[in-house]
Chains A and B, each alone.
Chain A
Amino acid sequence: MRRVRLMMIAVLAFAVWGCSEEEPAFQVNLGRRVETSVSVPKRAVTYAYLPQFAHTVSYERHRLLVEYLQKATGLPIRQIFPDTFDEHVKMVERGEIDISFSNPFVYIRMAAAGARAFARIIEPSGAPEFYSQIIVRKDNRNIERIEDCRGKRWLAVDPSSAGGYIYALGEFYDNGIRREDFAEIAFAPGPGGKQEKVVMAVYAGAYDIGSVRDGALSLLKDKIDLAQVRILAESKRYPGWVYAHRPGLDPEVVNKISRAMFALNMDRPDEALILRTAGMRGIIPAVDADYAPVRELATKLGLEALEAIQ
């Protein structure tokens, strides 16, 4: 009888445990409603980075630089984020972007609309210019010279990538190889890490040849055996990314900004951090003529190539 009672108590204890412990709730009246409105940002110098990456990446890279420029110039500078290359170009043309940071090919399009270069960066390699590297697997005996690339499968970074595709294409042009001479031209799937993906694809043998900008190989030094990758050829050097201002921007503003930019020095740790975060070693003055080789390459590759970029 006592056992039965004990069992009943155990059952009741389970039941109580099963039903207890109610979570505390915060009382909210959803009846009180208001209409909301978005706060309008204050007028400022707009700074845009060609949307090569996601906005957050763009923001992350240039946040410190923009903050520095604000501080150095005393101007209100706000980073804005166009969604596409085309929008970037058009916003410059419409005057919505005051300071544009873009690659040389986009620049020559914007320059056509009146934008003017006033500064260019020193690449992480230390040179103010960069180039393409055409890579193959080390043991690929079918491709000994650049001519051997005919009929092969080529993986490039992106149709709009200067170092990852266009410069390499120019090199093939110079060697008499046209796009149609390849068995296939493919581009690395996005988003992000496209340079690395090209190296990985060639390393894995998925493609015969690959094209990356200089410095890309070193990104994978800890992941793969780089000795298995052979650099078949390198393109000519071309000037790197360029800062341009929209047509009609107050020259004083441009002046202030360019001065502040040029003042950045890798020797100062805080500025070095700014420069490294932005993916550069320094900013040097530039003029539109510096991009003549780019215009020349664009012409050489034809309007088709430009269209392709777009």
Chain B
Amino acid sequence: MDKLILPYNHIQTAHCENGVATGLLKHHGLEFMTEPLMFGLGSGIFYIHIPFLMVNGGPAVSYRSMPGWIFSRASKLLGIKVNRRKFNSEKEAYDYLNKQIQLGNPVGCQVGVYNLPYFPAEYRFHFNAHNLVVYGKENGSYLVSDPVMETVTTLTEEDMLKVRFAKGPLAPKGHVYYPENIKPVSKEQLQKAIYKAIHRSAFDMLSIPGPIAGVDGINYTARQIRKWRDKLGPRKAGLYLGQIVRMQEEIGTGGGGFRFLYAAFLEQASEITGNQKLLTLSDEFTKAGDLWRASAINMGRIFKGRLNEQKDFLECADMLDNIAAIERAAFKELRKIKP
């Protein structure tokens, strides 16, 4: 295979999984798909603070659901199957990817970013749930559409194997996936899917037992922040706040911990269903996103070293409690929403 370029349209999105899923569904004829719609249908919005687990030496918080779930959940609602393969053998994984390209099938690949050469060095941590599309091969290199990049890029065979077989938490194990069984989606089917996905998100944010997941998780983080300065000392406590801000705002989130993305989804959902209430609730998530941004600025004053009193930490915590209250109320409304 010297040169094989499949007709795939690169799309740039905020989040990599949304981007791969949206791009692949568009490729298979579902032209109406957008990033916010994919994110909403996949019930991507979430919050969780996992205690005792450390990520890069800081607290493990996430503003979105588990990697892989967005595409799976959205596909299920639209009657699409996602074909997924993982491998123990690098050789098998290599052959399988080449075969898919030869079959004319652009596929999604899960990769680690530590060895991704085209990423800025400052962003290359051991994060293993990045996603990209492989849409061909030329001069021994794979043609890659990475949704966080403005343009397409390439990866050598050696680099591709390295990133597909990154090790550690969420190790990709050569994970390759693509949608199957794609039929046209009717308006009624899409409307039904939207309501189901919204109820799913409301469940995730309001009804998961325990204090660490959903809106309760935001209150949990607030309680931790109140203790950090005494427990860890001002410097480390500041670094912890920095980690929260990075998880919330770094490339891939669309800003405001995915809340703007969800607000954009509700706006589109309101257009598709004609339900005005969804538009009103979209504004609540814009408000939540704006408050998350304000909270990041406030935390920034601490980790930039301008403020560092216990009362400043308390103020950060109070802001999070306020956001939790707004999101709780909004999701309670979403839980009740009916066609």
Q: Do A and B share a complex?
A: no
Which A positions have Cβ atoms within 8 angstroms of B?
Answer: none
Which B positions have Cβ atoms within 8 angstroms of A?
Answer: none
